Amino acid sequence: MQIELIPAIDIIEGKCVRLTQGDYNSKKIYNENPVEIAREFADYGIRRLHIVDLDGAKSQHVVNHKVVEQIRQATDLVIDFGGGIKSDEDLRKAFGAGASMVTIGSLAVKEPATFLRWLSLFGSEHIILGADVKQGNISINGWQEEDGEQLVPFVRRYVDNGVKQVLCTDISKDGMLQGPSVDLYRQLLSTFPDLYLIASGGVSCIDDIKALDAAGVPAVVFGKAIYEGKINLSELVQI
């Protein structure tokens, strides 16, 4: 397979958790120590990790940057961090803790000038556009609000300004273990063929990842399928 495998660790109160469709009331704790999980990923040969600060997404500022620091010190994983990055100080905390990349979603909707300034300062290799989608429209603030802007125009605005990486999550699929939105990603790639598109949401098994790979999707973020035992990493990394 050509697709890049990016496991996710979602953090609430320093613990590894997963939600269903972004609902904080659906929280399920999988491990009290995210560093253990990260080490396991690294042992399987995984190179990149997606960390989501769910406390940060809810409280509108970075909260769990210390977890990033601990994982960075314990592993060689390249860390992409998102959740609650709303200010220059939040960005400093994320990069200072050891994140190589940050995913920015809500702020790109509400403060495009700030996003573009960060993109110019840090470059497209370090700033990822987060595009969280619900029924074709962009959602923000930990998926608690819908913005109303449609996906393709939103992505186009930032691709035209130099964005190279987009993490696109179909909220309706997230945590449901019912398969990813392959058609949605295929449409995005047909519109933006040079985009490094990172698919997220719905992955339930190795066949789902194979389907994304066959559709030409460059990378995939997945989490719940690992924690629920639906995907065996040792099998996946050998394909």
CATH number of the domain enclosing 205: 3.20.20.70
Q: How far apart are CA 128 and CA 166, in angstroms?
A: 6
Q: Is residue 165's pLDDT more than 70?
A: yes
Share of the chain above pLDDT 70, in %: 97
Residue of 80, 90, 132, 170 marked active site: 132
Give pLDDT tens digits for 115-155. Answer: 999 999 999 999 999 999 988 889 875 455 565 689 999 99
Say what the pLDDT of residue 13 is.
96
pTM of the entire predicted model: 0.94
Provide the residue range defining the domain that includes 100. 4-236
Interior/surface letters 157-183, b for 16+ CB within 10 angstroms, e for the rest = ebbeeebbbbbbbbbebbbebebbbbe
DSSP 14: T
Domain count, the chain: 1
The verdict on whether 10 is a catalytic residue reads yes
Give pLDDT tens digits for 34-48. Answer: 999 999 999 999 999
The verdict on whether 23 is a catalytic residue reads no
